[in-house]
Amino acid sequence: MSDFKNFIPIAKPWMDDRESDAVARVIATGWITQGPEVASFEKEFADFVGAPHACAVSSCTTALHLALLAVGIKPGDEVITVSHSFIATANSIRYCGASPVFVDIEPDTFNLNPSLIETLINDKTKAILCVHQMGMPCNLEPIIGIARRHNLVVIEDAACAIGSEISWHGKWGKIGKPHGDIACFSFHPRKLLSTGDGGMLTTANDEWDHQFRLWRQHGMSVPDTIRHGAKEVILESYPCVGYNYRMTDVQAAMGREQLKRLPEIVARRRAMVKRYRMLLGEEIPGIGLPLEPKWARSNWQSLCVRLPERVNQITVMQKMLDIGIATRRGVMCAHREDSYRHGTWSCGKGPGPCECEPKRCARLVESERAQDRCIILPLYHQMTEADQLIVVMTLKQSCVHI
């Protein structure tokens, strides 16, 4: 992409000397792995979202894995979730030896359709793993209502949703505040808050939070912060098999600075999407724009639009790339990947694995259509109004000339 002098990327982190200075400060202390900066980041993050506990880990994938382990997901269990998500969502279920049961999405929000959940519940069902897709809050109220009636836990894949809000019993609250049981966040570079990579779990459950902290550091009974500050020799033990899922203090220092920026980032993106919607609606007949329900305030981690009928997705993407504009296809569907062959998942059509044709499922029509008919447009804090206009006009030309 270096050939393009004015290349417009799909995303770009917003960082400057504040993050650099924070990292330099940590390096100067000599403590660069999980330590006091991580602890401070956890407290500040918990305060920001309104959660009793926040536990930092190495990625959202590891956060999802620990969340599922903590609530007791084991081989033979089933977890209801969406196929229409980054593959890590479904993979985290399989890490536990359990099976994902895929439910279709709502076409206008790209989120799990709550009305389809109840028919998928059986004796093997132990949890619902819902996704706040591209930062848009999913409809938690009916999802949690169903879960409570059937004694199921609700885990929120909030990878993209830091800064998003939901109206809950008449009051606005941030995603990550315990609405369900556990929420999991990502700090990948395409997210609004980035630490290079990293993740966070939030919960109100003391026992689960303790277990996250034990597991993330190989099951070590004594945290480094306590052992290194002790006046007497402390010998740690390893009462359970754990993992190397730690966040470094270097990452946490970046995260603390990014968290300070977050309100400004969210406000900027919401304004940019408002302008995008105006331009797209005026310039491109037949374009499908996502719905933001009245009870949701998205951080607009991504703007995904549905292409007009008879317009080829890949052709449009290539034409835009040729001009120097990056796009991405609609969010992937895990059930269409070779790693999710028959026997590894279910759609609830029958008592066992899905028996639909390969990479096509009659119960996941909207999920497949979203992947095939939608594209994600560039959106990042430093983007100018001129950049947005270039994207829209290039998209218009690419659609017209096909």
Q: Which domains does the chain have, with CATH numbers?
A: 17-400 (3.40.640.10)
Strands (E), 121-263: 125-131, 153-157, 165-168, 171-174, 182-186, 199-203
Please enumerate, as own/partner, the contacts of 92-99 that have beta carbons within 8 Å and a separation of 24 or more.
92/61, 92/64, 92/65, 92/67, 92/68, 92/129, 93/68, 93/129, 94/344, 95/65, 95/68, 96/65, 96/68, 96/69, 98/68, 98/73, 98/74, 98/126, 99/124, 99/344, 99/345, 99/346
pLDDT digits (tens, 9 = 90+) for 162-214: 999 999 999 999 999 999 999 999 999 999 999 999 999 999 999 999 999 99
293's enclosing H/E stretch is none
What pTM value is reported for the model? Answer: 0.95
3 pLDDT band, cuts 50/70/90, is low
395 pLDDT band, cuts 50/70/90, is very high
pLDDT score, position 394:
97
Dist. CA 16–CA 29, nearest whole Å: 21
pLDDT score, position 223:
83
Measured in Å, how far apart are the chain's first and last C-alpha atoms? 24
402 pLDDT band, cuts 50/70/90, is low
pLDDT score, position 348:
77
Dist. CA 66–CA 294, nearest whole Å: 32
Of 57-71, 275-289, 313-327, 352-366, where does mean pLDDT reach its minimum? 352-366
Residue 366 near residue 108 (C-beta atoms within 8 A) = no
Q: What are the structure tokens assigned to 214, written together?
A: 């034990």
Rg of the chain in Å (alpha carbons)? 22
CB neighbour class for 336 (10 Å; exposed up to 12, middle 13-18, buried from 19): middle
Dist. CA 364–CA 330, nearest whole Å: 15
Instruction: Using the CB atoms, write b or e for 254-278: b if 16+ within 10 Å.
Output: bbbbbbebbeebbebbeebbeebbe
Choose among 117, 243, 135: nearest CA to 188: 135
Q: State the pairing for strand pair 374-377/303-306.
A: antiparallel
Residue 385, amino acid: E
Dist. CA 129–CA 155, nearest whole Å: 5
Is residue 1 predicted with pLDDT exceeding 50? no
2 pLDDT band, cuts 50/70/90, is very low
Mean pLDDT, rounded, for 301-309: 97
pLDDT score, position 286:
95
pLDDT score, position 341:
86
**Reduced 3-state DSSP string for 105-127:** ECCCCCCECHHHCHHHCCCCEEE
pLDDT digits (tens, 9 = 90+) for 274-284: 999 999 999 99
Is residue 358 predicted with pLDDT exceeding 80? no
Is residue 119 predicted with pLDDT exceeding 60? yes
pLDDT score, position 34:
94
- Give the three-class secondary structure for 250: helix
Mean pLDDT, rounded, for 105-127: 97
Write the DSSP assignment of 125-159 as a string of letters: EEEEEEE-GGGPPP-HHHHHHHHHHTT-EEEEE-T
